Amino acid sequence: MQSSDSHWWRGATLYQIYPRSFADSNGDGIGDLRGVTSKLDYVAELGVDGIWLSPFFASPQRDFGYDVSDHCAIDPMFGTMSDFDALIARSHELGLKVIIDQVWSHTAVEHAWFQESRQSRTNPKADWFVWADPLPDGSCPTNWQSWMGGGTWTWEPRRGQYYLHNFLPQMPDLNFHCPEVQEAILAIGRFWLDRGVDGFRLDTVNYYFHDQALRNNPPKPGDSPATMQRHIYNVCQPENLTFLRRIRELLDLYPGSFVVGEIGSDDNLTRMIEYTAGTDHLHTAYSFQLLSDRADPQHFHEAMQPWTTGKGASAWPSWALSNHDCARVASRWKLDAPTSQIAKFALALLVALRGTIFLYQGEELGLTQADLAYEDLRDPLGVANWPANKGRDGCRTIQPWSHDHTFQGFSTVKPWLPIIEAHRDHSVDLQAQDPASVLAFARHAISLRQSNPAMRLGDCSVLYEDESCLIFSRKFGASSCLAGFNFSPKAKTIPGLVDSRLKPDLAVGKVQVDGDDITLGPVSAFLISKNPFKTKDANHESCS
């Protein structure tokens, strides 16, 4: 059941779909919009509130859709605008919200705006991108380093200037200091909202503005050029907050719409709070805070704590443990347990967190990170940095629908990335028949979160933490939840925290309640839920 009120996004569970790898409807080996629509019943059966669609816009596909050449056009490999309209209609029939990626910080070099801007210093779009003169010795204007490797400046002989690109050289940064750019971006937002989408996931939302004085970033210890400086002048400029207000003003014209921002910075949690506090910026934001290799109680306590007091109490976080840019959590977390147990452990932790949560396709199946050969790589990050960094293809392999199909039910032909034979036994058709599967566990975990107002909306209090275990409570009105996690390979008994009359509603590994004590086995977790309400909407009226 979906909440109809304007605060539906608080505590919601959103399912990320990477269209290229979800389902192929036309037999070209690449997933598409019709393929997504054909699998929406499966998504709805997970119990999630909606979907987040990764880019499907016109693009040369150097960065697989995050290099947009036309923000208001569907790339033919994904289908047509009619296909998109059908996807929206079917999603809404099923009670699913549709959130789409918006890549506004930069474009592809093929974009008409850049093609005009690069021609001269006097054309109508001359100021739409970030241009700068060379230093007296001809070198780049700043020392800023790109996350995709190398510096952030490329020479354009037609203008006799450098242009800025925080990512690939073929992805020039828009100049948000230019008022016309801001108006053009907001017009793109209106286009898709009028089309019926329920909101946006804003890619690299803290990259919209740059320091106009072009000051150099200061150094810091790191293991690559991009991590060997503090990114304080090419991102996170104060003007960002002013433009976020304009985005929120636009969203407020479409009741029930929602915007989440992706933040990557040296101070992730601080920026998440700054960008979401109050009611005039983003509704919520997520960062890479929980997408690292760390899996320990202190790490999660540190992520949760800032949202309990001060400015953080008026902000709202979002969390993801996997996505299209990082290794899958079942492989990334080096816990001493089988990968299926790690996958369930991670799911239990995700649904227990305060905030809006994102589940990446295949996470509900316990998919592991694929280890691809160099010749199979498609990601420019992996191709350029092999073997030190194998890129992002390993988390982007296809969704396995059928175990006995040559191409795992994804397509009738060889997919754009290799078939991972190890994923065959994780297929949807097999797991749907197994009550002990990761898929069955995911459905149950999501159902618990959806039915318990405390898990969706409640405050969070850490009750116990040591080097191995974390136990916290969630409370909202008369509804409550107790969640516990043992990250270690050794059993742990915690006394006096559990009502002996209650039993876990969800458990991973070995969990034993003995009187008021609870014993957690190695890499184990539990959720104990007390819920007097019959539906997940029961207390939404009091949510502000």
DSSP state of 174: B
Mention every residue, 6+ apart, whose C-beta is less than 8 A from residue 219: 228, 229, 230
Helix 179-195 and helix 239-252, axial crossing angle in degrees, nearest 10 = 30
Question: 76 and 26 in contact (C-beta within 8 Å)?
Answer: no
Quote the CA–CA distance of 148 and 375 in Å, as a whole number. 20
Cβ contact 200:101 at 8 Å: yes
Q: Biggest alpha carbon distance in the chain? A: 78
Find the catalytic residue in 67, 203, 363, 364. 203
- At residue 506, what is the residue type? L
* Annotated catalytic residue within 262, 325, 363, 379: 262
Q: Concatenate the DSSP letters of all residues of 316-374 into one string.
A: -BEEES--TTS--HHHHS--SS-HHHHHHHHHHHHHHSSSEEEEETTGGGTPPPP---G
Residues in CB range of 200: below 8 A, 6 or more apart: 99, 100, 101, 102, 189, 192, 258, 259, 260
303, 286 Cβ separation under 8 angstroms: no
DSSP string across 287-299? ESTTSSS--SHHH
Contact 490, 518 (CB under 8 A): no
- Whether the CB-CB separation of 410 and 418 falls below 8 Å is answered with no
DSSP 396: S
Q: Which structure tokens are listed for 525?
A: 């977790």
Q: How far apart are CA 399 and CA 237, in angstroms?
A: 38
Unique residue bearing structure tokens 């795992």: 408
The half-sphere exposure of 65 on its side-chain side, counting CA atoms within 13 A, is 25
Residue 465, CB half-sphere, CA atoms under 13 Å: how many?
Answer: 13
4 DSSP 8-state letter: -
Q: Give the Cα-Cα-Cα angle 370, 376, 377 (nearest 5 degrees).
A: 80
Q: Report how far residue 13's alpha carbon sits from residue 32's, in angstroms, rounded to the nearest whole number.
A: 23
72 CB neighbour count, 10 Å cutoff: 13
Q: Which residues contact 39 (CB under 8 A, 6 or more apart)?
A: 22, 23, 401
Whether 41 sits among the annotated catalytic residues: the reply is no
Instruction: List, in sequence order, every residue forming a beta bridge with 70; answer none if it has no partner.
Output: 58
Q: Residue 496: which of 482, 508, 475, 476 has the closest Cα?
A: 482
Does the active-site annotation cover 249?
A: no
Place of tokens 């907050």: 241
Residue 211 near residue 234, CB atoms below 8 Å: yes
Q: How many CB atoms lie within 10 A of CB 372?
A: 20
Active site residues: 203, 262
